[in-house]
Structure 1
Amino acid sequence: MSELVLQGTGVGRRAVIGPVAVVRGAVEAAPDAPVLRDGAPVAQEDLPEVIAQSFATVTQNLKDQAAGAQGSLAAVLGAAAQIAADPALVAKSKANLGKGLAPVEAIDSAVDEFVKLFTQLGGMMAERVTDLKSVRDRVIAELLEQPVPGVPVLSEPSIIVAEDLAPADTAALDLSKVLAIVTELGGPTGHTAIIAGQLGLPCLVQVRGVLDVDEGTVVAVDAATGRVTVDPNEELRAAIAAKAELERQLESDSEPGSTKDGHTIDLLANIGTAADAKRAAAYTDGHVVAGSGLFRTEVLFLDSSNAPSVEAQAKEYRAVLEAFEGRKVVVRTLDAGADKPLAFATQPDEENPALGVRGYRSARLHPQLLEDQLEALAQAARDTGSFPWVMAPMIATVTEARDFAAAARRHGLSKVGVMIEVPAAALRARQILAEVDFVSIGSNDLAQYTMATDRLRGELSDLLDAWQPAILDLIAATATAGQESGKPVGVCGESASDPLMALVLTGLGVTSLSMSAGAVPAVRFALRHHTLEQCRQMAQAVLAAATPHEAKNAVVELLVPEVRAALVS
């Protein structure tokens, strides 16, 4: 395996070196494997209850892990527990028993039906296939009284390698000994990538062949380049050590975000829970981030079997506002629907969930959800004396923007905006900005809808490249509309975390950038070494490019030497 380089899609910018630790696979059991208790086969009539108890045990274990986790990790663990607790899954397994299938085969067949359904639905539902398979493996292990599959016990800091990593597996990690996560499957916006970003770990997905690397083999993982290098040489080791030292130096700088000539850019953190808010607000003594540019409130909803009350929501929102102590907090209303199912508001099956009832559109069927959320946020604002910004996702028309703004203002929320994620909204940004106070560009979904490409499909990541000219044209049009109207235009998708793209976005007229807190130092470093005029020159060069490669190279050519040496791999 010497000098082998494997290519994938990186999440983050960090690079590390360490030994490989491979996640254990599922229990290898024959479909007709006997179920034993105290060494004796379980009677046929008792098998349905034993299967039900196995599901219940796995559900409780997942809930316990969720209770011991924080932030986004706790939310996705709760979602896995919800899958294990699904009565339809248990009922289907029992029904398969009644058809004459053996216990292991009955469970496997039941889960397989749900896997096919989720895969057909696509989007976030397809992303939960990993959780389904993890639940199946855990239930079968429990049924056969075998060790739970998952990660090995780590005796030293290691790089976790897996086909894909379920949230339940991540919960079992000793994070003090995890250097990075590398998977053969998955997408850059899947559970693994989200959790890795939350924990500040470099992560690579879609790394074909990584499971062929032997346990214990030393590899170098570079999220910025998306490369895994087996048995790295001394030159690469030295380069990664230098990169790590640079990261430490960048983190020690806590000045506000601005260009070299003093043009201010708000550098903000993306969060999902109050726990995320506390970590981001405390990052480097609270001086690195100017607040939150994206509070994903659906995390509170996705782990609930019933719609959270106004009081429960207000409590969570108060905690977030208090964590940032008067700093800017942009709250996105519920971004859920067909591709992010809610137990209490599940939509009928849709042929194409990504184009269905999601985001602000869910208010068409469940208007009270939006009204309760706005009231809860208004209560939290009054209780804390804060002035949160609120925005709606998946806005496509001027009428939708106008209706949302009216609803938010009825509840006393004074700073109202919308997300620009649909090309139609970007094309009509000038008219939309006439109805609201600000807009925020969700570059992940904007790329998906512009390029007609599912953003969870790792093999199509080239089409979703943030440097695609068509995507940048829409961002430029939105930023121009913001400048003409004198209203803020932010970016809260993955584009904001790329320090080179941050220069371009600033040159286009974007006024704030929101990202994971760990990405802020490199972005701030790039901005502080270039003037606003240099950023504008980069923006014009990018808009004139014909391909993503040409666009990025145009920016690299215009970088000052210090930034090129520090940030270009």
Structure 2
Amino acid sequence: MSPAFVTMTGYGVSPGLACAPMVRMTPPAVTDPGEEPGADPAREVQRVREALTEVAEQLSTIATDKTAGEILEAGATMARDPALVQAAADHIGQGTPTAHSLSLAIDAYCAQLEETGGYMAERAADLRDIRNRAVALLLDVPMPGIPRPGHPFILAAEDLSPADTAQLAGRDVMGLLTEKGGPTGHTAILARSLGLPAVVGCPQAATLPNGTLLLLDGEAGTVEPHPSAHRRQRAVEAALERRQPRAKGPGRTADQHAVTLSANVGTLADVARAAQSDNEGVGLFRTEFLFLDRREPPTLEEQIQAYSQVFAAFDGRPVTVRTLDAGSDKPLPFLSLPSEDNPALGIRGLRTAAHCPDILVTQLQALVTAQRRTGAQMRVMAPMVSTAEEAAQFADLARGFGVQSVGIMIEVPSAALDADRLLQHVDFASIGTNDLSQYTLAADRTSRTLGRFLDPWQHALLTLVAGVCRAGAALERPVGVCGEAAADPLLAPVLVGLGVSSLSMAAPAVAAVRDALAQLTLQHCRSLADAALDAPTPAIARATAREMSDAFHKAAHDREGR
């Protein structure tokens, strides 16, 4: 059978079904090393400088969706880096054609970023987008980008840059399909913020002819070419269901068991979007946006103003703040952390406070001041807590500054296994399933080849979640999940069945999760959790949960029809 007729799999990073013809991205121009070099090297270097400057200006103004603003501005900063011009100038001085010189220079930097790994490796895609745009300007050819076929379509590409993804709002794009990428890349983040179904890391997509009708499942991570009429109808029904959520208000199971449904936010643009959505506040406020891409830390007053803006936007709804999660794949120059061979297992999160205590102290002061000025319901939690001693030290410090509700992130196996000890010192815990997956399964969360180990249905991960919830119940401490697993409408009931009391996710995902919970009782959720824990593989766990959920829904529908 031709590959074009076989269901393909990748990473489902943004749930939902989309059915439409596939249209490929306009490809970037290819530079020719045999092209005649410019006669005046100084003039050619100036052309490179002008092209990169124009790209920086494009990136600063290109976003039609504000959620992408922070990412694109970071790309603009990269484009303005004089080191790129100098590296291209070195090649031009050796007689290399201008466009090819810039391409060689940027490719070398991309290789360095990918060797570093983690967050820096993900920035290589941003840098390649800068290269493609600047090369198009130098060669005076059409800019690579999103096509406009005049009808709804699924956008396919080798990979998508933040600039590409940011322009999707308001287009005819029904879903996203990429050959490369992983669950934590920018395509995944922005697709979820836009509510677009997306499958990434699907290399078989390269075999599909342009115009192939596809059924894309952003939850299961599958892509079905030439779907049957029945499957196409199901996609239409699913799309209508997403647009018209049945449940509203606070999260509840069918028998009225409360499950708090909150939003994850990481920028002020996220805040504006989430504040207008039907959710119960913020379950994860990533404060890194104030610190990244800066040579000096933000001042106390800068932080007070930013936090006050966030608290005011939610007007009384609770906001759970994560203190600065720096180090590893989010290096900050002003922290002056030592060089490490394996930074993901090094000084990051709360551990940075031992080296730079003033950063955490200032942040806690700013948070408490902003909370008092706005009257917000604020909770504060620390990332990368590994021991009961760390939990106790952070709790004492935070409470000393006036934080009334103190929590911790459960992101490493030691914290999960010793949850009964750690939770004695704090008021709540939030499980970060992304990091807990990578540390439990020893799989880099940014890897393009280890996605199967990062599957949130892995038995080891679910077992740890269950253990943390048991410890929380024994101590009467609420336990939430703020990792990407919370946004999966099929997995969310399983997490509730394991004992999770709150779920935090990208704001557009809340409606589907609310609907999924509203159709199941707490006992249904517990049955799903038991089945998932008994399943021999993640795939079987997922399939079993889907079959059981469908059966529960059918039984409820039959009862209503009597």
Same fold (TM over 0.5): yes
CA offsets 1:126-170 (integer angstroms, 9 cap, x no match): 111111111122222233333322222453332211100001222
Query: Is structure 2 residue 50 aligned with structure 1 residue 78?
Result: no
Question: Secondary structure of 1:262's partner?
Answer: coil
Match of 2:140 among 136, 139, 145: 145
One-letter code aligned to 2:130: V
Unpaired runs of 5+ residues, structure 1, are 36-40
Deviation at 1:308, TM superposition (A): 2.6
Further displaced range: 54-63 or 340-349 = 340-349
Q: Which residue of 2 aligns with 1:257?
A: 251
Q: Report the Cα distance in structure 1 between the residues aligned to 2:168 and 2:317, rounded to whole angstroms.
A: 34
1:303 to 1:203, Cα distance in 2 relative to 1, 3 A: farther
Q: Which residue of 2 aligns with 1:38?
A: none
1:264 to 1:504, Cα distance in 2 relative to 1, 3 A: same
Query: Is structure 2 residue 112 aligned with structure 1 residue 117?
Result: yes
1:154 to 1:390, Cα distance in 2 relative to 1, 3 A: farther
Q: Which residue of 1 aligns with 2:188?
A: 193
Q: Report the Cα distance in structure 2 between the residues aligned to 1:318 and 1:543, rounded to whole angstroms.
A: 42
Deviation at 1:98, TM superposition (A): 3.8
Q: Which residue of 2 aligns with 1:359?
A: 349
Structure 2 contact 182–200 (Cα < 8 Å) conserved: yes
Structure 1 contact 425–432 (Cα < 8 Å) conserved: yes
Q: Report the Cα distance in structure 2 between the residues aligned to 1:228 and 1:382, rounded to whole angstroms.
A: 50
Q: Which residue of 2 aligns with 1:43?
A: 40
One-letter code aligned to 1:460: L
1:276 to 1:306, Cα distance in 2 relative to 1, 3 A: same
Q: Report the Cα distance in structure 1 between the residues aligned to 2:222 and 2:351, rounded to whole angstroms.
A: 39
Q: Report the Cα distance in structure 1 between the residues aligned to 2:397 and 2:214, rounded to whole angstroms.
A: 53
Query: Is structure 2 residue 366 aligned with structure 1 residue 371?
Result: no
Match of 1:447 among 419, 431, 437: 437
Further displaced range: 230-239 or 420-429 = 230-239
Matches within 5 A, 1:12-161: 12-34=14-36, 41=38, 43-65=40-62, 69-71=65-67, 73-161=68-156
Unpaired runs of 5+ residues, structure 2, are 558-562
Q: Report the Cα distance in structure 1 between the residues aligned to 2:60 and 2:555, rounded to whole angstroms.
A: 46
Question: Secondary structure of 1:175's partner?
Answer: coil
One-letter code aligned to 1:70: K
Deviation at 1:200, TM superposition (A): 0.6
1:491 to 1:428, Cα distance in 2 relative to 1, 3 A: same
Matches within 5 A, 1:301-340: 301-304=291-294, 306-340=296-330
1:97 to 1:556, Cα distance in 2 relative to 1, 3 A: closer
Matches within 5 A, 1:136-285: 136-173=131-168, 175-249=170-244, 251-283=245-277
Structure 1 contact 32–105 (Cα < 8 Å) conserved: no
Question: Secondary structure of 1:176's partner?
Answer: coil
Query: Is structure 2 residue 475 aligned with structure 1 residue 480?
Result: no
Q: Report the Cα distance in structure 2 between the residues aligned to 1:564 and 1:3, rounded to whole angstroms.
A: 31
CA offsets 1:530-562 (integer angstroms, 9 cap, x no match): 333333343334334443244345544643635
Q: Report the Cα distance in structure 1 between the residues aligned to 2:333 and 2:27, rounded to whole angstroms.
A: 30
| Count of matched residue pairs | 555
Q: Report the Cα distance in structure 2 between the residues aligned to 1:470 and 1:450, rounded to whole angstroms.
A: 7
Deviation at 1:303, TM superposition (A): 4.6
Structure 2 contact 65–167 (Cα < 8 Å) conserved: no
1:14 to 1:347, Cα distance in 2 relative to 1, 3 A: same
Q: Report the Cα distance in structure 1 between the residues aligned to 2:123 and 2:554, rounded to whole angstroms.
A: 39
Query: Is structure 2 residue 290 aligned with structure 1 residue 300?
Result: yes
Matches within 5 A, 1:523-542: 523-542=513-532
Deviation at 1:253, TM superposition (A): 2.0
Q: Report the Cα distance in structure 2 between the residues aligned to 1:178 and 1:150, rounded to whole angstroms.
A: 13
Structure 1 contact 277–320 (Cα < 8 Å) conserved: yes
Runs of 4+ in 1 over 6 A off after TM superposition: 564-567
Q: Which residue of 1 aligns with 2:414?
A: 424
One-letter code aligned to 1:334: L
Q: Report the Cα distance in structure 1 between the residues aligned to 2:394 and 2:447, rounded to whole angstroms.
A: 32
CA offsets 1:238-277 (integer angstroms, 9 cap, x no match): 111122233234x142042122332211111111223322
Q: Report the Cα distance in structure 1 between the residues aligned to 2:199 and 2:547, rounded to whole angstroms.
A: 27
Q: Report the Cα distance in structure 2 between the residues aligned to 1:560 and 1:240, rounded to whole angstroms.
A: 16
Match of 1:467 among 457, 475, 484: 457
Structure 1 contact 183–204 (Cα < 8 Å) conserved: yes
Structure 2 contact 480–502 (Cα < 8 Å) conserved: yes
Q: Which residue of 1 aligns with 2:560?
A: none
Question: Secondary structure of 2:21's partner?
Answer: strand
1:173 to 1:554, Cα distance in 2 relative to 1, 3 A: closer
Question: Secondary structure of 2:490's partner?
Answer: helix
1:248 to 1:59, Cα distance in 2 relative to 1, 3 A: closer
CA offsets 1:384-424 (integer angstroms, 9 cap, x no match): 11131111111112222222223322332211111100001
1:272 to 1:225, Cα distance in 2 relative to 1, 3 A: same
